[in-house]
Amino acid sequence: MNPHSEQHEHLDSATSQRLAKLGQQPIDTSALEKRLDAAMSESPAEPVTLHLRRWLSPVAGVAASLLIVVGLYLAISSGGGQAQAAIVELSQLHHDIVAGRIPLTPAETVEQANTWIAEQADSAPQLPADLGQVRVQSCCLADVQGDLVAVAVLQVDKELITLVVAEAPKFAHEMGTVIEIDGRRYFGHELNGVNMMMANLGDRWLCVMGDLGDERLAEIAAEVRF
């Protein structure tokens, strides 16, 4: 017999034996299911029942199960494509602002900030007219996943806070840690050490982010009035 053929047969046999043993071990996907429920709560899908072991061999069944787990993990990681990528870019935007890598225009009031924003681009979104007890320090415009966003830098509890306004309905999804204040829901995310709370206001998205906790960020966002 060809020695290469013997090696392949030996490898196939060993691989089959190992996968068969793996197939006898239970796979706990409860944690994965909880993450999926949280990540995709904004667009619930029809339940799908998979009957793998009726027609798959033990080896093929394990391989298919592993593919499903990997596929679900990738679905969570991608998290809605552009919307999830926007969250990644928002966290980087805050890091860049705090590090001084993005030029900021000083502004003593929201009116000054909005006047400057309007002079830069007619299509740029406006900052909230009322920030409650918080005062704006500076502002800028930024591009996040192709959407022009208005940015205000605030100082709250001795921390720099970045407030972002995007006029794009699909800028983000209603997903994440939910905090409800006065009937409005805020969705929390944590990425690269940046906490953020987001709210959907019709066609507009509001994001407040920084080193403060979710509840404090939600309180700041709740004071915003357009």
Beta strands 177-181 and 136-144, pairing class: unpaired
- Is residue 210 helix, strand or coil? strand
pTM of the model: 0.66
Best CA proximity match to 162, nearest among 203, 208, 129: 208
* pLDDT tens for each residue of 106-147: 999 999 999 999 999 999 999 999 999 999 999 999 999 999
* Residue 91, pLDDT above cutoff 60: yes
* pLDDT tens for each residue of 159-171: 999 999 999 998 9
Instruction: Decide if 160 contacts 98 (C-beta within 8 A).
Output: yes
Taking the C-alpha atoms of residue 161 and residue 137, their distance in angstroms, rounded to an integer, is 10
Chain-wide mean pLDDT for the chain?
A: 78
In whole angstroms, how large is the CA radius of gyration of the chain?
24
Q: Regarding predicted confidence, which is higher, 36 or 116? A: 116
CB atoms closer than 10 angstroms to residue 144: 23
And the tokens for 12? 């196939």
Taking the C-alpha atoms of residue 225 and residue 131, their distance in angstroms, rounded to an integer, is 7
Number of H helices, E strands in the chain: 6, 8
* Residue 69, pLDDT above cutoff 50: no
Q: What is the mean pLDDT of residues 164-181?
A: 94
* Residue 67, pLDDT above cutoff 60: no
Helix (H) or strand (E) holding 143: strand 136-144
* Residue 221, pLDDT above cutoff 50: yes
CB atoms closer than 10 angstroms to residue 139: 23
* Residue 218, pLDDT above cutoff 70: yes
* Residue 155, pLDDT above cutoff 80: yes
Can you give the pLDDT at residue 85? 84
Of 24-33, 56-65, 89-98, give the lowest mean pLDDT range. 56-65
Burial of residue 122 (CB within 10 Å: 0-12, 13-18, 19+) is exposed
Instruction: Decide if 58 contacts 23 (C-beta within 8 A).
Output: yes
DSSP 44: P
Which residues, 6+ apart, have CB-to-CB distance to 168 below 8 Å?
147, 203, 205
* Residue 84, pLDDT above cutoff 90: no
**Could you tell me the domains of the chain?**
3-78 (no CATH), 82-222 (3.30.200.100)
Taking the C-alpha atoms of residue 110 and residue 133, their distance in angstroms, rounded to an integer, is 12
Can you give the pLDDT at residue 16? 55
